[in-house]
Amino acid sequence: MAEATSLDTMAQMNQAFRNIVNMLHGVRDGLVRDANNYEQQEQASQQILSS
């Protein structure tokens, strides 16, 4: 009985860990997208200012 419970707990911890990893991937993707948008706006601003 105790073994089954610990396996269940391990499975839950594993699932929680995967959820965290997926969430971090989402955060990273969002940051990359924001950085790319910022970079494009920065370049556009530089071109406007230098013209």
**Residue 10: per-residue pLDDT:** 95
pLDDT at 1 over 80: no
pLDDT at 12 over 80: yes
Q: Taking the model in full, what pTM does it have? A: 0.67
CA 50 remoteness from chain centre: 36
Instruction: Report d(CA 11, CA 29) in Å as an integer.
Output: 27
Instruction: Report d(CA 23, CA 1) in Å as an integer.
Output: 33
Residue with structure tokens 């200012």? 49
